[in-house]
Structure 1
């Protein structure tokens, strides 16, 4: 039963008790406030309860405050595998796997004020089921009784685990992905001390040629073989991650610089010698590897930068080699990084950004709203895409200033066009800055726009990392009338409990699940599952990366609410946006 159903159940039981009193089953003295219990009164009343319990689809237990089971419904017999006689001789301490102190505490809370929680129960055969328990104390014939309505949520939990695994692992190779890598790094940061470790970034050379020449299926086959080759030669506790289609990261904990360099060169040599099977032919591949080192906890981010510069240097020096960089300042790539940093700072000072709008469409291609997408003008007057400057801005703590520019510009657009609704992205840096939230609230209040015309997006990963801040932002901005979307849904998935805490209006299903949707039945099943979850939680879904008509058609068949992608509309400056589509 859901909570509302449980309440209805208890009310119905109460009414039965009142009726039983009137019929003489209970003689209740209102003046003296005493219960005069006739013979077998509790048995008769429990019989009334059990008649109601038979209509339930969930397990129902009638329990004494000490945990002894007094009565059960037929569903309990089926779910637990015990006979009625066996269950009535048991105590709830024998069903739950929690510590006895925890069970005792829950019984006390149930008796005093009621409780709703999730736990695990053990069946007669020893197997476990995940359950949601709604327990409420009541009084029957002057005796305290706890009624527990128990729902088997094992299937839901299994789905959570599958989605959690999918979100943290690469679909093709089964390796951890970049979101799992973030978790791993967070764990590294929590260590009080850290021995020298190494980070290897490996990029398959000329892999695009393999895909273009032999097709993606052949390319995937080669990738899987490369991964197995690497795994065979890595140490057991090395953390091997797929970052992108042809790029991998390996974190090697507790390894000195010499050993890490030797292992990197070993991987290179093994790959050179390996003959990869491609149909009836053998195929040779090479790899460029960059190595960075972590000597203190503070070095973690820098080590990735070192490894990235080293890997790109290996590419530029002819590929098929290992490059080790310990000081980024020694490499020319740092100059390029600093050049971009200077341009970002200059763009913030001189307002050298542009805002493009991309539509989010309903079925039938009507526009729901537009997402604001930022571009930057470089020194030559060329437009730079976010991937060219956002990582630098994030690394050097400039995203809050950029977010403020985007928000201010979006509000001006809305004031100039009363036919627009716009959503803007909020970075993780801004989410942790209360002054940015105050800035937004102030700008909305001082503008002439209706707050419902502006919405905000935060990524699922950012929200989970800053769950308290995310709740604060959402509640305060929704109080003004704004809407909220959770971006990249699925890739940072942790638990449905997080979604229940975040009262967002839309869940944007990450594009990695939408790409190839028209040729991948597994992705179709996952998208369908996420849509069901979203709708169950009362939220609308938006599919990202809708790139062709067949994907859009499938999304419509799956009852996805909205879509966004090049097929539905390209990002455009505001003067090119035509509202009536």
Structure 2
């Protein structure tokens, strides 16, 4: 398969008619370099299918470079002016590495995608890969496990306390997803979320987490909870339909809900994210940026978005007692946030010395090993008003 790189950019920059002219010219250049008996066809919008007959692996390499050079070495003349174009190639040897047409197309397509990810204008040939095949078997098994766990209501919550830095009184609890396996083993969020995101299941997980958190808020009127949602979920219309329905069914819970989004979300299209934030604030909910400091969000964007809380990435917090750089960075973040009237949470607080430093710098809330790790037991069920002793 030969794929024209970045055709969508050409569409946006020059229009579809220019992109069509580019496609036609690329096809002409490929056709001019075919041998007798080779077959060329249009596969999809920006891709061509090519069959090279009686071709060794070495022949395939030579032919691929010939095709790529013919496309990249001369600009394509169009009515809007010359356009520079490159293409990438994904190839598979048949019948050695593909037993039928579908397998050949799938493997060529997969290899083309890999070539494009690695570098535009490159060539790659399919090879057996034991690790890849093993990972795919794992993906199939884990997909089945997650879907079955969702259907059997084995996706549950654990609650990690977030306390006021000065008084150590509970402020809210962060809800972290857990999955109970058939054998009783409990999988933690780092075991579930990345896999669910990679396999396209995170929307289903986020929907279930939302249902569980809203139900908990409805049953416990004095509790405040936060939940994390993935980047894809922020623009998911079904998630919005669910939260609107749940908010109508349980008036008042919105004011006790904090929704945590990552910096990745915050630096996407600002208008889209601002719309997301505004709709949540209309329910009375607050917005927190999770793992702040790990990405590239500017404080200007935080102010523009109307964020209520920033949670400082624990990677910077955990060593503030021993690292001058982390100390300066965290202190600066807290100071800037305070000037913008944004509350701060320090994650991964490990020891009393760090907690005291954070309190003196004006950090509003802390969470981590010092305060207590996530537990599936509801802390507000008994002794919810217990206060951890403040530092001296």
TM-score, with normalisation over the residues of structure 2?
0.65
1: CA distance, partners of 2:148 / 2:349: 35
Which residue, out of 346, 350, 356, partners 2:148?
346
**Structure 1 stretches of 4+ moved >4 Å:** 187-193, 254-257, 297-303, 324-330
Q: From the two aligned structures, give the one with the greater strand fraction.
A: 1
1:489 & 1:399 partners in 2: Cα distance? Answer: 22
> Could you tell me which residue of structure 1 aligns to residue 74 of structure 2?
none
What does 1:69-108 align with in structure 2 at a 5 Å threshold?
Answer: none
**Distance in 1 separating the partners of 2:321 and 2:330:** 12
Give how far 1:298 is off: 6.4
Distance 1:522 1:351 in 2: 45
Shift of 1:412: 1.1
Q: 1:328 to 1:404 in 2, by over 3 A?
A: farther
Q: Deviations over 1:422-448 (max 9, x none)?
A: 111111110121221232122112114
Alpha carbons of structure 1 residues 549 and 335: separation in structure 2 relative to 1, 3 Å = same
- Secondary structure of the 1:541 match is strand
Secondary structure, counterpart of 2:182 in structure 1: coil
1:135 is aligned to none
Radius of gyration: which is bigger? Answer: 1
Mapping for residues 217-228 of structure 1, pairs under 5 Å:
none
Pick the aligned partner of 2:345 from 539, 542, 545.
542
Residue 456 of structure 1 aligns to a residue whose secondary structure is strand
2:384 maps to 1:579:
yes
Match of 1:566 in 2: 369
How many residues matched? Answer: 280
Match status 1:523 vs 2:357 = no
1:255-334 matches, cutoff 5 A: 296-297=112-113, 327=129, 331-334=133-136
Matched, 1:467 2:270: yes
**2:181 aligned partner:** 378
The change in CA–CA distance for 1:420 and 1:325 in structure 2 (over 3 A counts) is farther
Query: Residues of 2 paired with 1:446 and 1:256: CA distance?
Result: 54
d(CA) in 1 for partners of 2:332, 2:152: 46
User: Contact between 1:508 and 1:542, CA under 8 Å: does it hold in 2?
Assistant: yes
Assess, with a 3 A threshold, how the Cα gap between structure 1 residues 467 and 349 changes in structure 2: closer, same or farther.
farther
- 1:157-556 matches, within 5 Å, as 296-297=112-113, 327=129, 331-362=133-164, 363-556=166-359
* Rounded Cα–Cα distance in structure 1 between residues aligned with 2:89 and 2:203: 38
Question: What CA distance in whole angstroms lies between the structure 2 residues aligned with 1:299 and 1:430?
Answer: 29
Distance 1:552 1:402, change over 3 A: same
Check the 8 A contact 2:231/2:264 in 1, yes or no: no
Write out per-residue CA displacement over residues 506-558 of structure 1, whole angstroms, 9 at most, x where no aligned residue. Answer: 01111111021100011111111111211121101100111111111111121
Q: Which residue of 2 aligns with 1:260?
A: none
Distance 1:297 1:410 in 2: 39
State the SS of the aligned residue for 1:331: helix
What do residues 462-487 of structure 1 show as CA deviations (whole Å, max 9, x unaligned)? 22124333211111111121111111
Query: Structure 2 CA distance, aligned partners of 1:389 and 1:357?
Result: 16
Stretches of structure 1 lacking an aligned partner (at least 5 in a row): 1-186, 194-253, 258-292, 304-323
Q: Structure 2 vs 1, CA of residues 326 and 400 (structure 1 numbering), >3 Å: closer, same or farther?
A: same
Deviation per CA, 1:332-355: give whole Å up to 9, x if none: 233223211210111122211110
- The 1:531/1:190 distance shift into structure 2, 3 A limit, reads farther
- 1: distance between equivalents of 2:249 and 2:221? 16
- Displacement, 1:505? 0.8
Cα distance in structure 1, aligned partners of 2:115 and 2:163: 44
Q: Return the TM-score normalized by structure 1.
A: 0.45
Distance 1:330 1:536, change over 3 A: closer
CA distance in 2, matches of 1:554, 1:437: 40
Q: How far did 1:300 drift?
A: 6.4
The unaligned stretches of length 5 or more in structure 2 are 11-21, 23-86, 91-108, 120-125, 387-392
Q: What is the CA–CA distance in structure 1 between the aligned matches of 2:287 and 2:262, rounded to whole Å?
A: 11
- Change in Cα spacing, 1:501 to 1:425, as seen in structure 2 (3 Å) is same
Q: Structure 1 residues 299, 485: closer, same or farther in 2, change over 3 A?
A: farther
CA change 1:433–1:326 in 2 (3 A) is farther
Cα-to-partner distance string for 1:184-242 (whole Å, 9 max, x where unaligned) = xxx9998889xxxxxxxxxxxxxxxxxxxxxxxxxxxxxxxxxxxxxxxxxxxxxxxxx
Larger relative contact order, structure 1 or 2 (CA cutoff 8 Å, min sep 6):
2
Q: 1:333 to 1:396 in 2, by over 3 A?
A: closer
CA distance in 2, matches of 1:325, 1:548: 51
